[in-house]
Structure 1
Amino acid sequence: MSMRTAVALTALLLMGAAPDTAAAPACPPDGWTRSSLQQLQAAGFGTLPPAQTEALGRALVACLDDADPALRDGIAYTGLSVWMRGGRFSTDALRALRADLYDRMDAPDPQGFGRPFAALVLAEVARTDRVAPWMTADERAAMVQRAAAYLEGVDDYRGFQAGDGWRHGVAHGADWLMQLSLNPALDPAQRQRILDAVARQVVPAQHAYVFGEPERLAMPVLLLARAGLNDEAGWQAWLEALSASASLRDAALAWQDADWLARRHNLRAFLSALHVSASLSDDAAVKALLPGTAAVLRAMP
C-alpha cells in the first residue's frame, strides 16, 4: 500500500466512513425533486411509461423511512399502491420490489418509520399475488412467515404524532396479514400461523391502543373465519385462551393497576370489533365467532 493510499484510508476512517461503503439511496430519488414528485402525485401517478414507473417505484423504497410524511406516506406509499393496484408492475418488477422491501424490513430503523411503511407496501405486494397469482408456493410461504414474524416483533406502538405523521406498526402488520388471509392459496397451517401472530399483539404489555389497532387486528381473524379455519368450538377455545393470556383474574390488580386497565381495554376492543363484524356478516362461517366472543365478553371483569 502506498503512503498516499494509506493516508486516504486513514482520513476516511477518521471521518467515520468505510472506503467501500455504498452511498445510501437518495430520497427524493436521483433525477427527481420534491416538487416534481408532488406534480406526479397531483396527476394521480399516471403519467409515466411502464419502465420509468417500475424504476421510480423501486427508488421510492428509500423514501419509506423519510421523516417527512408527505414524501413517505403521501408519495412513496401512495404511488406504489396506485401503481400496483393499476397493474403497472411486471412480475419481474414485483419480485425486485419485494426484495427491496425485505431489505428495508431487515435494515436499521432508528426513527421507526421504515419497517411499518415497508410492511404496508408489502401488503400491496401480497394483494397483487392474490388478484393474479405470480408467487411460487415457497415464495408465498416465506411471505406468510415474514409477515407473521414482523407483527409478532413490533414493540414500537407509536401511531400518529403531529408533525411525524403515522408509524402504526401493529396496524400495518395486520394489514399485511389481512391481504395474505384473503389469498385462497394459503394452506391451513399458514392460516394458523397468521392467527397465532395476531394473538401476540391483541393484548400487548403496558400499552393501551388508541389508533384503531384492535379493529385492524380483527380483520385477518374475520377473513380466516370466512375461510373456515375453525368451527364454533374451535373459535371459542381460541378466544378463551386469548382472554386467559390477558391476565385479568388477579383481584389485587383489578381496577387498581394501569397495565391491567390497558389489557382489559385492548381485549375488550378486539372482542367487540370481532363481535360487531360477525353480527353484521351474512356468512355462516364468520358467524361461528359469535358464541365465543359473546361468552368471553360476558365473562370479562
Structure 2
Amino acid sequence: MKEDILKIKLIQIKENNYEINFDDLYYSLALDMLKHIGTTDAILRDDLIYNIFAKWISQNRFSNQQLQTFLEICTDNDHLMKCVGNENDDTVFTRTFSALVIALIIYSHNQKSFLPDNMIFQTKDSITEYYTKEIDLRGYIGNKGWAHSVAHGADVIDELAQCKTLSKKDLQELLVILKLKICQGEYVYIDGEPDRISIAVRSIFMRGHIDRDTILEWLESFKNYNSRENWSIELYHQKINSTNFLKSLYFTLKGSIEDVIVFDKIQYLISNL
C-alpha cells in the first residue's frame, strides 16, 4: 500500500475510534503499517502508525501468534537493525519506531505471558546488539519529528527488565549497555534521555535480583569517566550525561526503593564526578 493511501486510511480509522468493520483487516493493515514504520512523515509515523499500534494491542485486536510475527519483523535486519551504525540519515526512524513497537509487544507479554522464553532471550540479544551499535543519538529532528533512539531503546529495556524469564546475569548485561549509552561523549542529551534510561534502571533494580553491593559497584563505575588531568570535550560531555542521569535516577528511585546507602552513593557521585 502506498504511503499516501495508508495515511488516509489510518486517519479515517482514528476518526472512527480506532475501529475497522472487519476483524481480519486489523492484522493485514498492521503489516502494511510496519512497512512504513520508518517514514519521515511524523504524523503518519508517530501520530498514526505508532498510536494505532498501541491502541490495537491494548484492545487485544491481535492473536498471540500475530504479535509474535510482529516481534519477529520488528527485530529483523529491515527494521530494528536496518543500517544500524549509520549516522544522521533517515534510516534511524525505522530502527527507533520498530523499537517502540517491540516495547508495546513486550509490555503486552508482561500482562499476559504469551511469548515463549526463547523469543524473550532473542529480543534481549537483539536490543543489546542494537543499543550497542546505534550511534545516531539525535532526539527531535526538525520537520521530521522524533528519532530518539536512546529513549526508545531504553523503553524496550524497561519492558524486558520486567520479564520474569530474564535472570540476574541478563539484567546485569542490560545495566552494562545502559551505562555505555549514558557515558558516551559524542553528544549531550537534551531531550529527556536520562529520564527514560533511569526508568529502565529502576525496573532492573525492582526485580530484586541485583544485590546492593552490585548496585553500588555499578554506580561507582561512573567515576571511571571522570578525568581532570586529561581534559577533553568528550570527557566533559560524558560528565554532563553521567551527572544528569544520576540526578534523574535519584528522583526516579524515590518511593520505589528505601536503601539509604544507595541514595547516599548517588548523592556522593553527583557532587564528585
If the length of structure 1 is used for normalisation, what is the TM-score? Answer: 0.82
- Secondary structure at 1:87's aligned position in 2? coil
Matches within 5 A, 1:12-31: 26-28=2-4
1:232 aligns with 2:206: no
For 1:166, the equivalent position in structure 2 comes to 146
Structure 1 residue 115 displacement after superposition: 0.3
* Pairing 1:87–2:60 present: yes
Contact 2:106–2:160 at 8 Å: present in 1 too? yes
Q: 1:252–1:195: structure 2 CA closer, same or farther, 3 Å change rule?
A: closer
1:123 aligns with 2:103: yes
After superposition, the C-alpha distances for 1:132-177 in whole angstroms (9 at most, x for unaligned) are 1111111111111111221122100111022110101111000000
| 1:200 and 2:173 are equivalent in the alignment | no
Rounded to whole Å, the distance in 1 between the matches of 2:257 and 2:64 is 34
Distance 2:75 2:235 in 1: 36
Residue 80 of structure 2 is matched in structure 1 by: 105
Q: Which residue of 1 aligns with 2:235?
A: 260
The structural deviation recorded for 1:187 is: 1.6
Aligned residue in 2 for 1:14: none
Unpaired stretches in structure 1, ≥5 consecutive residues: 1-24
Residue identity in the other structure for 2:258: A
Partner Cα distance (2:150, 2:21) in 1: 33
Aligned counterparts, 1:204-215, within 5 A: 204-215=184-195
Of the two, which has the highest radius of gyration? 1
| Rounded Cα–Cα distance in structure 2 between residues aligned with 1:100 and 1:227 | 28
Distance 1:288 1:126, change over 3 A: farther
Higher relative contact order (CA 8 A, sep 6+): 2
Alignment correspondent of 2:263: 290
Please state whether the residue corresponding to 2:75 is helix, strand or coil: helix
Alignment partner of 1:136 is 2:111:
no
RMSD, aligned α-carbons: 1.9
1:277 lines up with 2:257 in the alignment? no
Q: Does structure 2 retain, via aligned residues, the 8 Å contact 1:232–1:291? A: no
Of residues 227, 232, 235 in structure 2, which corresponds to 1:249? 227
Contact 1:26 1:62 in 2 (8 A): no
Aligned position for 1:12: none
Q: Is the 8 A contact 2:27 2:66 kept in 1?
A: yes
Q: Give the count of matched residue pairs.
A: 266
Displacement of 1:252 in angstroms is 4.6
User: 1:161–1:237: structure 2 CA closer, same or farther, 3 Å change rule?
Assistant: same
Distance in 1 between residues matched to 2:251 and 2:81, nearest whole Å: 37
1:96 aligned to 58, 69, 83, which one? 69
1:157·1:207 contact (CA, 8 Å) conserved in 2?
yes
**1-structure distance, mates of 2:166, 2:26:** 30
Q: Deviations over 1:78-130 (max 9, x none)?
A: 11111112211101111211122123223347512100110111111111111
- Give aligned-pair identity as a percent: 20
TM (norm. structure 2) is 0.90
Displacement, 1:185? 2.8
Query: How far is the alpha carbon of 1:26 from its aligned partner?
Result: 4.1
SS in 2 for 1:106: coil
Structure 1: how far apart are the matches of 2:152 and 2:159? 11
Distance 1:62 1:290, change over 3 A: same
Supply the AA of the counterpart residue of 2:115.
Answer: M
Cα deviation, residue 43, structure 1: 2.6
Give the one of 142, 156, 174 matched to 1:176: 156
Once residues 258 and 20 of structure 2 are traced to their aligned partners in structure 1, the CA distance between those partners, rounded to angstroms, is 45
